[in-house]
C-alpha cells in the first residue's frame, strides 16, 4: 500500500514517474472541455474521502475534479463533520473510513494527525497539507518548472520569506529531484534544520543567505508564499510584516535572477506584501500554471497510491 505523506518519504523514481504520468494525462486532455471525463477511467467504482480540517480552495477543487475526471467519486468532509481526535480517536476514524472508501486525502493542522491516520488506515492516505509540509503543491511546482524550462535537476531555486511548510517540501524535493536551494529570510523564520539536513544528505547544496539580492543571483526560480496565516493574531501579523518586508519579491529583486527565471507562488497571495502585482502578473510568473497543475499532479499521485 502506497501512502503519499511527504516527498522525502517517497522513492525518487516513483516521484519522477508521477511527474511523467501527470504530464501525459494533461496532454491527453488538451483541447477537451473541462467537464468531460478522461478517456481512461482508472478510478471507476472507487470512492475517495477528502477531509478538510483547514479551509481550502485549490486543494479541494483540484482533488474533487481530478477524481471525477478519472471516473471516481468523492466524499468531502470538514473537520467539524469528522470531529477528528475529539468525538472519536483518529485511529478509530481511520479504521472506520477504511471500511467505506478506497483512499483518504487529509488536509489538517498537526502532522501527527496525518501520521496516525496513515498508521491505522487500511487504505492509502495522501497528505493534502499539514503545518509542517505541503508535498502535493511542490509536485505541481516541479511539473510546472519542467514544462517551462526542462529538467529541474542541477538548477537553483530560491525561497524568499518564511521557511514554512511549503518551503519544507521544496527542501525535500531538492534532495529527491537533485536541484539546489537557497533560503533568504529573517533568522527567526528559518526552515527546520531537519529539513535542511535531509536535502544536504541527498546531495543538494542548501544555502542560507540573508541578503535577498545575493540570494537570487543566478536563480532559475524564485518562490514566495504568504507572510501570514488566517489563524495568526493581529500582533503576530504585524511582527511578521516587519520582519519580512525586506524579502518582498519585486521587479528590482527579480532583476538579480537569471533573465529567464520563473516566479512561483502557491496561492492564495496577499498582493503587494510577499510579492508585487507587477511580478505576479509579469513575464516571469507561472502562478496560474502551478494552480492548474495541482489537478494533474494530484491525479498522478492518486493513481500511484492505488496502483491503477
207 alpha carbon, distance to own chain's centre: 21
Active-site pick, 141, 225, 284, 305: 225
Q: Are 259 and 282 in contact (CB under 8 A)?
A: no
Is 266 a catalytic site residue?
yes
CA distances from 281 to 220, 257, 272 (A): 18, 17, 11
Residue of 266, 284, 303, 305 with catalytic role: 266
From 8, 46, 107, 172, active-site residue: 107
Q: Of these residues, 134, 240, 284, 296, which one is catalytic? A: 134
The one catalytic residue in 6, 58, 137, 176 is: 137
Task: List 187's β-bridge partners, or say none.
Answer: none
In contact, 128 and 105? CB cutoff 8 Å: yes
> Pick the catalytic residue: 294, 296, 298, 303?
294
DSSP state letter for 119:
H
Side-chain-facing half-sphere of 245: CA atoms under 13 Å? 6
- Count CB neighbours of 80 within 10 A: 10
Active site residue 294: yes
Contact assessment for residue 262 and residue 286, using Cβ atoms and an 8 Å cutoff = yes
The catalytic site residues sit at 107, 134, 137, 225, 266, 294
Amino acid at each position: 500500500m502506497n501512502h503519499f505523506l511527504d516527498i522525502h518519504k517517497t522513492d525518487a523514481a516513483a516521484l519522477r514517474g508521477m511527474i511523467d504520468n501527470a504530464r501525459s494525462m494533461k496532454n491527453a486532455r488538451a483541447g477537451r472541455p473541462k467537464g468531460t471525463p478522461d478517456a481512461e477511467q482508472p478510478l471507476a467504482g472507487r470512492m475517495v474521502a477528502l477531509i478538510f480540517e483547514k479551509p481550502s480552495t485549490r486543494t479541494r477543487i483540484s482533488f474533487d475534479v481530478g477524481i471525477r475526471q478519472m471516473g471516481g467519486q468523492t466524499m468531502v468532509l470538514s473537520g467539524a463533520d469528522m470531529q477528528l481526535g475529539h468525538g472519536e480517536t483518529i485511529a478509530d476514524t481511520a479504521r472506520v473510513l477504511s471500511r467505506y472508501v478506497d483512499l483518504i486525502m487529509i488536509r489538517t493542522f498537526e502532522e501527527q494527525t496525518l501520521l496516525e491516520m496513515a498508521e491505522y488506515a487500511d487504505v492509502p492516505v495522501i497528505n493534502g497539507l499539514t503545518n509542517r509540509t505541503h508535498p502535493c503543491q511542490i509536485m505541481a511546482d516541479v511539473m510546472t518548472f519542467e514544462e517551462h524550462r526542462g529538467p529541474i535537476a542541477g538548477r537553483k531555486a530560491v525561497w524568499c520569506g518564511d521557511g514554512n511548510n511549503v518551503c519544507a517540501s521544496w527542501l525535500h524535493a531538492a534532495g529527491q529531484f537533485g536541484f539546489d536551494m537557497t533560503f533568504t529570510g529573517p533568522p527567526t523564520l528559518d526552515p527546520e534544520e531537519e529539513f535542511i539536513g535531509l536535502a544536504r544528505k541527498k546531495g543538494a547544496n542548501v544555502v542560507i543567505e540573508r541578503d535577498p539580492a545575493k540570494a537570487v543571483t543566478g536563480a532559475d526560480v524564485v518562490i514566495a508564499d504568504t507572510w501570514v496565516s488566517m489563524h495568526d493574531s493581529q500582533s503576530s501579523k504585524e511582527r511578521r510584516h516587519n520582519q519580512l518586508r525586506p524579502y518582498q519579491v519585486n521587479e528590482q529583486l527579480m532583476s538579480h535572477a537569471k533573465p529567464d527565471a520563473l516566479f512561483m507562488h502557491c496561492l492564495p497571495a496577499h498582493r503587494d506584501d510577499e510579492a508585487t502585482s507587477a511580478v505576479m502578473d509579469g513575464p516571469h510568473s507561472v502562478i496560474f500554471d502551478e494552480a492548474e497543475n495541482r489537478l494533474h499532479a494530484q491525479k498522478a499521485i492518486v493513481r500511484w497510491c492505488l496502483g491503477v
